[in-house]
Structure 1
């Protein structure tokens, strides 16, 4: 009997797996197969997926175009593990990434493969910024999320996640994200003042790290003018600007990079999640060429050469990013979600919405309501997660390739779930 035709008793997870598991508590079933926008459990029930691997599956589950390229590579004994050795698979990825992604956007970046996950990319970015500038401090923002390793946690806002470090998280200073003060305080006024004040106690920072849309923080969207002002401040003060595009990159907000709409050019960019296209572990750190001051082997990792991920990433770029069709479709679907969320917000007191492209959030003043809505949605066959400091936001991250019919079906489920909870 094939593995996927077998079943397991869900007690194996509660008995043998750590208490740290989280998503499975919201979705109490055992999954076995997935394709496109659907994931199936071992009883045969299908769920429409508005989670997409926390943004790692922008092109859906087991995308047939990418799967075909992957299976052909494996079948022909292509290299799987390559550290930082030169391989054909890596070379083809670099050619495609520079030719179809960076060059058309006027971006001149060197590429570093720091390890397989987003936090690896963030750690390398922070480490490089400190090496280049000779400074220690990093400026981050309220409600930011950048990863779970110690350096990434130091620039993450969530108190529960920070507490898990078990040691002081130092050399990082949080600043208010766009609209954190509700427009009462002028943007960056406090930041600039403490930079100039010799009595402020703020060490001159090496870098600022920012998400253009804070996904885990509650789908908080930075305005384009705010991002441009931040870039200008960093340029004037000789501070490096790092954009963490791990979740919002690869087309999630419409354009390939989420910062393109603001017209800024960060010094350093981190990418992961959907860069492989297939959900395979893969991360990149992009840097302006003059910042590439590493000595050979100064920053490395055993799994930084995931060649099957190079293969699917290259195919993704060739198939989806040779023109602007996917970008336009993402904007259209994002508008569709925003309209439905706007209708829900108009109907119910204490509900609002925000987002960009195909990351959208339904915000509840009663923070307990978001989790209840997601629970109702799960019972109706839809996967959606909560986010925000109090889990007060229903966050949608559907595959960019989802059909309009499936998108509408999922939005109907969410509307009906909201009605049941607060109607």
Structure 2
């Protein structure tokens, strides 16, 4: 693909140096539909990024777009704080009837603000309020957000350093297979809990991702998650599952923890819950944990009604028969797995391993700079992929759940070419 140098002057002179994704994709995007994006010069890109997991149903999904346009054209409420609105009622009823009741999940629903880190902050605050303790246990290579409370339970040193102050009241423990299977699960964690001389304050809660996306596509086994739930129950700690990126069907089932057969005390949801890329997040928790006083946790943009509209439309369109969506995602995942296995076979000297679940996959390279080179070459070939892992050593695949088998095959062939051409 021949790309003329775009005019980036206004971004480079006026926008902060903090910008990130645009550096890896130096073009000016103009429109998008489904799994494809187009820049202002008309160049086409196949999207294996999906808004960092915020676009599970693709760009400008026509079903969700129609619902949104109809709502806006009738002058539906756009901003409602936590007021009762028809849009919020429709979402809550759909979420209860389509998601919670069929799974026998008892959760109360809280709208903590527009982003994932808002949901995490509210979950941590609630856990501390319920248990009357400060300490939260997280896991190595975890990522839970960029605000101070979320950073305190995030593992990445670069991101933590940006806080500028000590990040306290969080204790990291080894994630599944962090020690390469050399020690029994949770032996260190439980030894600290039972030893009065360990220095570990009794935690209020444990927060975990079932698949660590930013951390490098580290997949927790169902058995490990069940053992974690058991540890939490025996030691009077709340279990928080951060399903912000891996929820809404990314791993197959609507919630990523369903496969393990556990019921977390608190669940955080964001990214694709609106379905359309509109800001929205949820904090879900068991009814007995609902000890909030009115207004004790709030936010101006916690009532994003256009997001409620597209969220309800997404649930109705894709999860009324959730088994069909889950089956399709697993089939697409098997398609990815087969191709990645062949890529690894062709590049055994360069690749450590590949791993994933559903439609989130990663390839870890032995040369930690190789993943960035592959992503750069993929962009030149018309494919959008990002990197993850503590040192950016993993190429991360996050296509829309609605991607066609043909589009998936096209993107995987482009990825294989990018790997070959950066060897």
TM-score range, shorter chain: over 0.9
Aligned to 2:174: 176
Residues 238-270 of structure 1 show CA distances to partners (whole Å, capped at 9, x for unaligned) of 100000000000000000000000001000000
2:31 pairs, out of 30, 33, 36, with: 33
Aligned to 2:320: 322
Aligned to 1:332: 331
Aligned to 2:341: 342
* Secondary structure, counterpart of 2:229 in structure 1: helix
Aligned to 2:261: 263
How far, CA to CA, are the matches of 1:332 and 1:98 in structure 2? 27
* Secondary structure, counterpart of 2:309 in structure 1: helix
* Secondary structure, counterpart of 2:334 in structure 1: helix
* Secondary structure, counterpart of 1:43 in structure 2: coil
Matched, 1:359 2:378: no
How far, CA to CA, are the matches of 1:157 and 1:8 in structure 2? 36
Aligned to 1:60: 58
How far, CA to CA, are the matches of 1:8 and 1:220 in structure 2? 36
* Secondary structure, counterpart of 1:111 in structure 2: strand
How far, CA to CA, are the matches of 2:246 and 2:151 in structure 1? 19
* Secondary structure, counterpart of 1:156 in structure 2: coil
Aligned to 2:154: 156
How far, CA to CA, are the matches of 2:403 and 2:311 in structure 1? 19
How far, CA to CA, are the matches of 2:156 and 2:303 in structure 1? 31
Matched, 1:114 2:112: yes
Aligned to 1:251: 249
Residue 8 of structure 1, CA deviation:
8.1
Aligned to 1:293: 291
Residue 381 of structure 1, CA deviation:
0.2
Aligned to 1:3: none
Residue 223 of structure 1, CA deviation:
0.3
How far, CA to CA, are the matches of 1:29 and 1:338 in structure 2? 30
Residues 183-233 of structure 1 show CA distances to partners (whole Å, capped at 9, x for unaligned) of 111110000000011110000000000000000000000000000000001
Give the 5 Å matches for 1:9-408: 9-323=7-321, 324-348=323-347, 349-351=349-351, 352-408=353-409
Residues 59-79 of structure 1 show CA distances to partners (whole Å, capped at 9, x for unaligned) of 000000000000000000000
How far, CA to CA, are the matches of 2:60 and 2:222 in structure 1? 34
How far, CA to CA, are the matches of 1:411 and 1:325 in structure 2? 24
User: Structure 1 runs of 4+ off > 3 angstroms?
Assistant: none
How far, CA to CA, are the matches of 2:82 and 2:212 in structure 1? 32
Residue 9 of structure 1, CA deviation:
2.9
Residues 261-304 of structure 1 show CA distances to partners (whole Å, capped at 9, x for unaligned) of 00010000000000000000000000000000000000000000
Q: Unaligned regions of 5+ residues in structure 1, if any?
A: 1-6
Residue 350 of structure 1, CA deviation:
3.2
Residues 351-398 of structure 1 show CA distances to partners (whole Å, capped at 9, x for unaligned) of 120000000001111111111011110000000000000101100000
How far, CA to CA, are the matches of 2:192 and 2:232 in structure 1? 14
* Secondary structure, counterpart of 1:353 in structure 2: strand
Residues 80-133 of structure 1 show CA distances to partners (whole Å, capped at 9, x for unaligned) of 000000001101100000100011011000000000000000000000000000
Residue 421 of structure 1, CA deviation:
1.2
Q: Give me the TM-score of the superposition, normalised by structure 1.
A: 0.98
Matched, 1:420 2:421: yes
* Secondary structure, counterpart of 1:355 in structure 2: strand
Further displaced range: 82-91 or 7-16: 7-16
How far, CA to CA, are the matches of 1:24 and 1:18 in structure 2? 12
Asked if structure 1 preserves the Cα contact closer than 8 Å seen for 2:115 and 2:281, the reply is: yes
How far, CA to CA, are the matches of 1:239 and 1:309 in structure 2? 33
* Secondary structure, counterpart of 2:46 in structure 1: strand
Residues 416 and 8 of structure 1: CA distance in aligned 2, closer, same or farther (over 3 Å): closer
How far, CA to CA, are the matches of 2:10 and 2:363 in structure 1? 35
Asked if structure 1 preserves the Cα contact closer than 8 Å seen for 2:6 and 2:27, the reply is: no
Q: Unaligned regions of 5+ residues in structure 2, if any?
A: none
